[in-house]
């Protein structure tokens, strides 16, 4: 048996999609367990770029069973659009299963996401406005609509009518927004229900049996540690649990069934949306990284904020997700950037701390402490073994390994399936 949880170790967009696709060539099952179409996972296969938001990145491998677990929030229109997009490219989705317990993103969730962001004004979170937060709010409040409800017309109609009464009060009276129509939602979503019904099932026994049969199972994380609702830079976080523990709840598997947890990070740091970012660069170097790394959001197209690699964050990810090894993607982006900096700790008052602060008010008192390393020049995207990398690139990776207390298992030097260097233990 081999079950692996793959998570983002920073603020998302670390290249999880690419690594999932690579591992999925061996895995028989790939599972998404949290988040929704706030995620944007890019996979490049033979020059074709796929941008996946809801479907597990394993879908590009015809033999892989792809499960969308109970912890995911599903916008049915987006899900169907993605299924159609795959089919139009000749990719089969016959191996897709969606858990009946997964919650449905409704039009009023999307509306409320936008309205609450406007209401926050300067204090906005910078959400993707895909209705993620309001959908998880309804789940926690116990008024949500699940995939099972969606495909059962009588229950669906009753739940939509009940919800719309309250949501319209909030939309109109609290925010002064435009009300939604229950009739229109029921008509529109009934069509989605018919199209999605064949995929909806209780996925938990399927997953359990696959694990017991010794199949290779991969849990594809979305977002990243610092966007975790509990462990991230609250309130500038998403509404689910991207840390490895989230995979257990979001897919209905117990922790004793997980063998390994792998973290994915970039060779530098990026963040989309608002919130603190200790190593953020506001200068030409930040611009150069953004340009060279094409750091623009897969989901919203927003420019990603860029900064130096932060070993404090990685150490925090290692601890909170129990990571046994990490992938460092986009090392190629740092070629020709000049001397590089790694944040080794935070200076807080007179002391140096190496634990990521629990609260933003404490984080605000911190300034990063840097160690400078020599850079390297030239294109490294064709390199296929660790030893062939420029010495300074090797030093950079080895220093990350030392500082984060975890093995660097793979290094990404390009977006392609083959542009990765596996480092033997
Ligand atoms: P995810 O959300 O973690 O799956 O990451 P995204 O797909 O949102 O963003 C990562 C971006 O970096 C994508 O455009 C990938 O194609 C690209 N990428 C991944 N690994 C590498 C790498 O090693 N080098 C380069 N240059 N690009 C990479
Ligand atoms: P992947 O899976 C990067 C960020 C948003 C915002 C915050 C809350 O591609 O790594 P939300 O819409 O979730 O309520 O927004 O979380 N965010 C992401 N940032 N990558 C993602 O996913 C993200 N998903 C959400 O930008 O700051
Ligand atoms: Mg992404």
DSSP calls for 233-253: STTSS-SS--STHHHHHHHT-
Residue 241 is among the residues annotated as catalytic for this protein: no
Residue 53, SS3? coil
Span from the CA of 379 to the centroid of ligand 2 (angstroms): 31
Distance CA 131, CA 111 (A): 7
Burial classification of residue 363, based on how many CB atoms lie within 10 Å of its CB (0-12 exposed, 13-18 middle, 19 or more buried):
middle
Give the list of residues 6+ apart from residue 207 with CB closer than 8 angstroms, or none. Answer: 29, 31, 67, 69, 217, 251, 252, 253
**From ligand 3's centre to the CA of 41, what distance in Å?**
5
- Name the one residue in this structure whose structure tokens are 């984080």: 363
Q: Which residues contact 35 (CB under 8 A, 6 or more apart)?
A: 72, 73, 132, 222, 223, 238, 240, 242
Average confidence score pLDDT of the chain:
97
E strand or H helix that includes residue 344: strand 340-348
- What are the tens digits of pLDDT across the range 115-148? 999 999 999 999 999 999 999 999 999 999 999 9
Between strands 351-353 and 340-348, the pairing is antiparallel
Cα 254 from Cα 405, distance rounded (Å) = 26
Angle at 84 between CA 87 and CA 4, to 5 degrees: 75
Given a cut of 60, whether residue 350 has pLDDT beyond it is: yes
Query: By C-alpha distance, which of 312, 308, 317, 306 is closest to 344?
Result: 312
Point out which residues pair with 147 in neighbouring strands: none
Instruction: Confirm if 383 and 391 have CB atoms less than 8 A apart.
Output: no
pLDDT score, position 300:
84
Whether the pLDDT of residue 200 is over 70: the answer is yes
Give me the pLDDT at residue 190, please: 98
CA gap 323, 264 in Å, rounded: 10
CA dist 219 → 57, 344, 408 (Å): 10, 30, 19
DSSP summary character for residue 387: G
Q: Can you list the domains of the chain with their CATH numbers?
A: 3-99+200-260 (3.40.440.10), 103-196 (1.10.300.10), 263-422 (3.90.170.10)
The structure's pTM equals 0.97
CB 218 within 8 A of CB 64: no
Tell me which DSSP letter residue 31 carries.
Answer: E
* CA 36–ligand 2 middle distance (angstroms): 10
pLDDT of 1 reads: 53
* Strand, coil or helix: 56: coil
How much is the average pLDDT of 172-188?
A: 97
Give, for ligand 1, the residue of 268, 415, 420 to mutate: max count of ligand atoms closer than 8 Å to Cβ: 415
Q: Cβ < 6 Å from ligand 1: which residues?
A: 8, 12-18, 40-42, 44, 298, 329-330, 332-333, 412-415
Cα 82 from Cα 388, distance rounded (Å): 39
Secondary structure of residue 130 in the 3-state scheme: coil
Ligand 1 nearest-atom number relative to CA 411: 23
| Mean pLDDT within 137-161 | 98
**Coil, helix or strand for 2?**
strand
* Nearest ligand, measured from the Cα of 15: 1
Higher pLDDT: 424 or 48? It is 48
Q: Residue 419: nearest ligand to its CA?
A: 1
CA dihedral 306, 401, 224, 121 (to 10 degrees): -40
State yes or no: pLDDT of 424 exceeds 90.
no
The alpha carbon of 216 is separated from its chain's Cα centroid by a whole number of angstroms, namely 21
């Amino acid at each position: 048996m081999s079950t692996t949880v793959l998570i983002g170790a920073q603020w998302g967009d670390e290249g999880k999609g690419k690594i999932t696709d690579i591992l999925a060539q061996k895995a028989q099952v790939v599972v998404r367990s949290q988040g929704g179409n706030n995620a944007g996972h890019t996979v490049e296969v033979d020059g074709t770029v796929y941008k996946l938001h809801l479907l597990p990145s394993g879908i590009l491998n015809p033999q892989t069973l792809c499960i969308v677990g109970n912890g995911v929030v599903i916008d049915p229109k987006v899900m169907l659009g993605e299924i159609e997009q795959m089919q139009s490219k000749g990719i089969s989705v016959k191996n897709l299963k969606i858990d009946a317990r997964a919650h449905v993103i409704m039009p009023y969730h999307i509306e409320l996401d936008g309205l609450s962001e406007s209401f926050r004004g300067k204090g906005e979170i910078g959400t993707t406005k895909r209705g993620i937060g309001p959908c998880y709010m309804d789940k926690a409040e116990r008024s949500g609509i699940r995939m099972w409800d969606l495909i059962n017309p009588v229950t669906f109609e009753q739940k939509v009518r009940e919800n719309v009464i309250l949501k319209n009060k909030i939309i109109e009276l609290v925010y002064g927004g435009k009300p939604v129509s229950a009739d229109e939602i029921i008509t529109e979503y009934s069509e989605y229900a018919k199209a999605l019904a064949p995929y909806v099932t209780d996925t938990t026994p399927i997953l359990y049996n696959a694990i017991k049969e010794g199949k290779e199972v991969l849990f594809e994380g979305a977002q990243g540690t610092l966007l975790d609702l509990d462990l991230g830079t609250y309130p500038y976080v998403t509404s689910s649990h991207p840390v490895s523990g989230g995979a257990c709840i979001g897919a209905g598997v117990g922790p004793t069934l997980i063998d390994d947890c792998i973290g994915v990070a970039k060779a530098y740091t990026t963040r989309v949306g608002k919130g603190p970012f200790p190593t953020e660069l506001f200068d030409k170097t930040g611009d150069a990284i953004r340009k060279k790394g094409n750091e623009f959001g897969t989901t919203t197209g927003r420019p990603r904020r860029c900064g130096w690699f932060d070993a404090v964050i990685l150490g925090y990810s290692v601890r909170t997700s129990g990571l046994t090894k990490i992938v460092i993607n986009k090392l190629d982006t740092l070629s020709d950037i000049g001397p590089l900096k790694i944040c080794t700790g935070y200076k807080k008052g007179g002391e140096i701390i190496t634990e990521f602060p629990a609260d933003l008010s404490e984080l605000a008192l911190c300034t990063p402490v840097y160690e400078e390393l020599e850079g390297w020049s030239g294109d490294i995207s064709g390199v296929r073994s660790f030893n062939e990398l420029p010495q300074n690139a090797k030093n950079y990776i080895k220093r990350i390994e030392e500082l984060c207390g975890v093995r660097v298992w793979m290094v990404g030097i390009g977006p392609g399936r083959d542009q990765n260097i596996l480092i033997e233990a």
